[in-house]
Chain A
Amino acid sequence: MTTVRKLACLSVFLLAACGADPAPGPVEQIIVREPGAAPAVTLATADANADDPASALLAEGKAAFANCSACHSLEKGAPNGAGPNLFGIVGAAAAAVPGFSYSDALKGSGITWTAAELDSFIANPAAKVPGTTMVAGAIADPAKRQAVTAYIESVTAN
């Protein structure tokens, strides 16, 4: 095996996938919207006016709810996910959303979801209701909890 032959093999090994063509741009580019521009359909109007402290709080809550939305929907009539649909949850009794399989712990908790109860639950679900199947999504930051709770409540009010 000569040196030249080895070099050839090595080059193939490394450069096989480097495209020989200069990278072309799109053949067709459909720009639906720019980043940051409001989508055509919004879930809530909370971020309408960021100068208003109440709006700012709701905007923060909406942003923070993005983490919750992995399991919970806030859309009226939307199906349950890994967690129950939370539309109208403020003021409702615990473990009452139809079609969701709750833990015995939550079923037996007797909680009514006031904003304060929601706040203490979100702070540490397993401490508030030992045995709950809500194993993710705890929010340690009190300000963020307040924002999320306010946002959940505002969506329901709309």
Chain B
Amino acid sequence: MGKWSRRAFIGAGVAAGGALVVGVAVRQGNPIDKLSPLLTNGENEQLLNAWVKVDTDNIVTAVIPHVEMGQGVYTALAQMLADEMDADWNKVRILEAPADMQYVSDSIARDFLAPDLQVPAWFEPTVAGGILELAQAMGLQFTGGSYSVRATGQRAMRTAGAAAREMLVAAAASEWQVPASEIATADSMISHAKSGKSEPFAKFALAAAEQSLPAKPKLKSPENYKIMGQPMARHDIPAKVDGSAVFGIDADVPGMKYAAVKAPPVIGATVESMDASTAKTMPGVLQILNMGDFVAVVADGYWQAQQALNSINAQYSKTEADDLDLDAIFARYATSLDEAGEDGGDMQTEAGDVAKSFAGAATKVEAEYKVPFLAHATMEPMNCTAWVRDGKCDVWSGHQAPVNARQTAADAAGLAFEDVTYHNAYLGGGFGRRSTSDYITMATRIASATGYPVKMIWSREEDTAQDHYRPSATSRFRGGLDKDGKAVSWNNIHTHLFDPADAPTIPYYNIASHKIRKVDVPMHLRFGPWRSVDHSQHGFFIESFVDEMADAAGKDGYAFRQELLAESPRHLKVLDTAARMSGWGSALPEKHGRGIAFVPSFGSIVAQVAEVDMSGAKPKVTKVFVAADPGFVINPDGFTAQMESAIVYGLTAALYGEITIKGGSVQQSNFHDYPMLRIDEMPEVEVILINGDHERLGGGGEPGLPPIAPAVTNAIFAATGTRIRELPLSKHSFA
């Protein structure tokens, strides 16, 4: 890319530095030199900056530094870039960023570490550079935490689009010898009304690269949005409908063989010996491997590998967890909570004097809640294809953190990061499971042993029994109400905190005196983030207890929450909207009930009202009304779909989700004993979206999940008087 001047590179670095690659450009040399071969197809394409390119056909390509796992991120992020650029949406192409260190999501790190940091424009490169270095150190090219739109979109995609547009306009102004202020852009065209001149973006792509850049490109205000806020059709849907979409499991490498794997049922055990005498004779078998921590069979076909694997009799080492049952795990939780007493554990937040407010309360409420371990059960089981040869390694998979996957493969193969090429595909479900890299390591180790390409696929049984589980937890509450039924005391201690740190806290509820603590309990199971992470447990705990306090106060759940939110109009509007949608207070048939729950998470505010029919042997959720305020909705269709799918996922867990442990092993194996919500169990879902703060966006992937379980259990209480304090609902009899 010799046409780029060094000066333009550095200029671009400083200017686009609103956030990203640019800060590093100044410190470590120009990143675009390294990136351009990965992104361009020919001499005539010009890379305007790391997040967008314009080619000679006037096609604008948005480079998306996030992975697509069904959440629609490609489309939403491209909308943000295209709108700021005034690109023609029909001529926007999407390219997933390669697993390269230059693409680490520093805007996520920034949002996490310093969300409210405002610095002068001249200082931006330094700050951005520092955060980028930190992000690189953590290998953070990461999709999760409902961060893509609110962090990368807001801080990177929009800035890149606006910067690109300003560069193009400056180039046109220079060529036409007219003031830039007289130039208009729309639909990937640049025009000057007075002279009647009009040219496509591509005409000025080269000249634009030579322009000096504004320190902070001007972003549009919402009244000027044309593409943001519109329900643009999802980029990834056509290929998923016609079957041409390529997922990790579709990797097809010449000469590729297949591996099936089985790890010791008790996590942490090792394979002491294996009897492969039958497997050796079975059709298609190429290799049988005792990898120490798992057994693998490599064969011509996957089925042959799995059949041979099933015939192997392996002996596993003893571990301390061999006698551990689920009851004992919950007993540990209880013991740890007991031992913490009134003042033990880690304080998370405290205000006022909880002991005093509780002692003086007119009404006292106490409750304990439990939630189980959960598996992710992605539709596409864990899989990874690897080829290690001649000091190089290629890896094909679907992973939420491609740079991390690439580094993991390098470590497993004993190679340098640069010697590994990581090819990311669509993820057939992520939910946090694909943010961990165990399956990348395993496939790379197998491929290192064979020397030829191997596609490792976990059976559904392995996928269920060797997950990184959503942790089980116990949470205890003591609450106090004054003589008017107003909440005055909130005391919570629980056994689990992983991420996000605010999950157990309730800053939006006006309760003067509160104290929230956690205790640590060691566990042998592998923990992993699961859609909405800690909010999945604490949403249920908090919103169940709020409902119990409401009942003790003689108020309905909606009215009680209205009082708690009285000083937070934005929160209150969301609550009121959900209640109004549901016809809260209107009559329902016998044995039917409504429940409400309210959980702000990942920057978005969500209230849900569930309606249940308890006339049968098990709960039937008939309707769910959702009101959500994520600040500003970039793609209403996509966001609505995320609310709906969060209800599918969360309701599956609330009704059935439970991983149990016996003798240290997970007892569930497949969908017969770890069931999913069926189509006839799906409630009608209505969603209303509220744009409450266009400058500070919230996430979409996770916030729809936390309210559904408590909304349903609160509805069951309304219908039957039975308070559910332990999930899943399948543990309870309603006959």
A and B: partners? yes
Interface residues of A (CB under 8 A from B): 1, 3, 5-7, 9-19, 22-35, 39, 41
Do the beta carbons of A18 and B291 come within 8 Å of each other? Answer: no
Are the C-beta atoms of B437 and A35 separated by less than 8 Å? no
Q: A6-B113, A32-B285 are in contact. Are A14 and B501 (CB under 8 A)?
A: no
Cα(A7)–Cα(B288), bound, Å = 42
Would you list 5 pairs from A and B whose C-beta atoms are within 8 A, ordered by A residue? A14-B138, A23-B444, A28-B290, A30-B288, A32-B280
If A14-B138, A17-B468 touch, does A6 touch B286 (CB 8 Å cutoff)? Answer: no
Q: Is the CB of B445 within 8 A of A23?
A: yes
Per a CB cutoff under 8 Å, which of A9, A31, A32 touches B501? A9
* Residue B276, interface by CB 8 Å: yes
Other A-B pairs, 7, CB within 8 Å; known A18-B407, A26-B449: A1-B502, A13-B499, A13-B533, A14-B138, A28-B274, A29-B449, A32-B285
Contacts of A39 in B (CB 8 A): 283-284
The smallest beta-carbon distance between A62 and chain B, in angstroms, is: 13
Q: Given A9-B498, A24-B291, does the pair A17, B271 have CB atoms closer than 8 Å?
A: no
A30, B284: Cα distance in complex, Å = 14
| Interface contact A27-B290, CB-CB below 8 Å | yes
A-B residue pairs, 6 tightest by C-beta: A17-B436, A23-B412, A28-B290, A30-B288, A27-B290, A26-B289
**Pairwise interchain contact A23-B441, C-beta atoms closer than 8 A:** yes
Q: Separation in Å of the A109 CB from the closest CB of chain B? A: 31
B114, CB-defined interface residue at 8 Å: yes
Contact (Cβ within 8 A) B288 A32? yes
Beta-carbon contact of B452 and A28 below 8 Å: no
Are the C-beta atoms of A33 and B274 separated by less than 8 Å?
Answer: no
Known A-B contacts A17-B436, A17-B438, A25-B448; the reply to A31 vs B291 at CB < 8 A is no
Q: Are A27 and B292 touching (Cβ within 8 A)?
A: yes
A25 adjacent to B449 (CB under 8 Å): yes
B528 within 8 A of A: yes
Q: Assess the B286–A32 pair: CB atoms within 8 A.
A: yes
B414 within 8 A of A: yes
Which residues of the partner chain A approach B477 to less than 8 Å between Cβ atoms? none
Q: Which B residues lie within 8 Å of A16 (CB)?
A: 436, 468, 526-528
| Interface status of B404 (Cβ within 8 A of chain A) | yes
Question: Are A14 and B441 interface neighbours, CB within 8 A?
Answer: no
Instruction: Please tell me the number of chain B residues within 8 Å of chain A, measured between CB atoms.
Output: 57
Q: Does B255 contact A (CB under 8 A)?
A: yes
CB of B557 within 8 A of chain A?
Answer: no
Contact B291 A13 (CB under 8 A): no
CB-CB under 8 A from B445, the residues of chain A are 23-25
Q: CA of A35 to CA of B276 in the docked complex: distance in angstroms?
A: 19
Q: B214 on the interface (CB 8 Å rule)?
A: no
**B112 & A23 in contact (Cβ 8 Å cutoff):** no
- Whether A19 lies near B441 (C-beta < 8 A) is yes
Given contacts A16-B528, A35-B255, A35-B257, contact A11 B500 (CB under 8 A): no
Contacts of B414 in A (CB 8 A): 22-23
Q: Which A residues lie within 8 Å of B185 (CB)?
A: none
Specify which of A18, A29, A41 is in contact with B437 (CB 8 Å cutoff).
A18
**Contact present for B288 and A14 (CB under 8 Å):** no
A4 to chain B, nearest CB (A): 10
Give the residues in chain B near A14, CB-CB below 8 Å. Answer: 138-140, 142, 401, 404, 435
Smallest Cβ-Cβ distance to A19: which chain B residue: B441
Q: Which residues of A contact B145 (CB under 8 A)?
A: 13
Among A11, A13, A30, point to the contact of B287 (Cβ < 8 A).
A30
Residues from chain B with Cβ under 8 Å of A11 in the complex = 138
Nearest-neighbour CB distance to chain B for A39, whole angstroms, equals: 7
Q: Whole-angstrom distance from the CB of B415 to the nearest CB of chain A?
A: 11
> Bound state CA distance, A6 and B501, in angstroms?
7
Residue of B nearest to A25 (CB): B449
A15 cross-chain contacts in B, Cβ below 8 A: 138-139, 404
Which residues of chain B are within 8 angstroms of A30 by Cβ–Cβ distance? 276, 280, 287-289
Cα–Cα, bound, A66→B437 (Å): 33
Binary A-proximity of B274-303 (CB < 8 A = 1, otherwise 0): 101000100111111111100000001000
Contact between B138 and A27 (Cβ–Cβ < 8 Å)?
no
| Cβ–Cβ < 8 Å partners of A22 in chain B | 411, 414
Contact A29–B501 (Cβ < 8 Å): no
Q: Does B102 contact A (CB under 8 A)?
A: no
- Structural contact, A28 and B411, CB atoms closer than 8 A: no
A11 — nearest CB in chain B belongs to which residue? B138
Question: Are A27 and B499 interface neighbours, CB within 8 A?
Answer: no
Taking the nearest CB of chain A, how far is it from the CB of B398, in angstroms? Answer: 15
Q: How far is the CA of A137 from the CA of B413 in the complex (A)?
A: 40
Judging by beta carbons under 8 Å apart, are B286 and A27 in contact? Answer: no
Residues of B within 8 A of A34 (CB): 286
Do residues B287 and A29 form an inter-chain contact, with CB atoms below 8 A? yes
CA distance A140 to B529 in the complex (A): 47
Q: Nearest CB to that of A41 among chain B residues?
A: B283
Does B46 lie at the interface of the complex (its beta carbon under 8 Å from any beta carbon of A)? no
* Contact present for A31 and B287 (CB under 8 Å): yes
How far does the Cβ of A71 sit from chain B's closest Cβ, in whole Å?
13
Bound CA–CA A40/B411 (angstroms): 37
Known: A14-B138, A17-B526, A29-B449. A9 touches B500 (CB 8 A): yes
A15 to B468 CA separation, bound complex (whole angstroms)? 13
User: Do A26 and B290 touch across chains, with their CB atoms under 8 A apart?
Assistant: yes
In the bound complex, CA of A16 to CA of B498 (Å): 11
Chain B 104-142 interface mask (CB, 8 Å, partner A; 1/0): 000001001110000000000000000000100011101
| Residues of chain A with a CB closer than 8 A to B283's CB | 39, 41
Q: Does B408 contact A (CB under 8 A)?
A: yes
Please tell me if the beta carbons of A3 and B142 are within 8 angstroms of each other in the complex. Answer: no
B300 nearest CB neighbor, chain A only = A35
The residue of chain A having its C-beta at the shortest distance from the C-beta of B348 within the complex is: A1
Q: How far is the CA of A149 from the CA of B387 in the complex (A)?
A: 36
Smallest CB gap from B442: residue in A = A23
Q: How many Å lie between the Cα of A5 and that of B139 in the bound state? A: 18
> Which of B113, B139, B287, B528 has the most chain A CB within a 10 Å cutoff?
B287
Question: Within residues 227 to 279 of chain B, which ones have a CB less than 8 A from any CB in chain A?
Answer: 255, 257, 271, 274, 276
CB of B622, distance to nearest CB on chain A (Å): 36
Check B138–A10 contact: CB distance below 8 A: yes
Distance to closest chain B CB from A19 (angstroms): 6
Please name all residues of chain B whose beta carbon is closer than 8 Å to the beta carbon of A19 when the two chains form the complex: 411, 438, 441
- B295 → chain A, closest Cβ, in Å? 9
A-side contacts of B290, CB under 8 Å: 26-29
List residues of chain A with CB within 8 A of the CB of B441. Answer: 19, 23
Query: Could you say which of B138, B438, B448, B533 has the most chain A C-beta atoms within 10 Å of its C-beta?
Result: B138
Minimum CB–CB distance from B582 to chain A (whole Å) comes to 35
Interface 0/1 of B668-709, CB less than 8 Å to A: 000000000000000000000000000000000000000000
Q: Are A13 and B498 in contact (CB under 8 A)?
A: yes
Determine the chain B residues whose CB is within 8 A of the CB of A33 once the complex forms: 286
Bound-state CA distance A26–B274 (Å) is 13
A14 to B528, CA, bound (A): 9
Assess the B498–A27 pair: CB atoms within 8 A.
no
Inter-chain CA distance A31–B297, complex, in Å, is 10
B residues less than 8 Å from A13 (CB atoms):
144-145, 435, 498-499, 529, 533
A35 near B452 with CB under 8 A, answer yes
Neighbour of A12 across the interface among B140, B407, B468, B499, CB < 8 A: B499
User: A33 CA to B280 CA in the complex, in Å?
Assistant: 10
Q: How far is the CB of A120 from chain B (nearest CB, A)?
A: 27
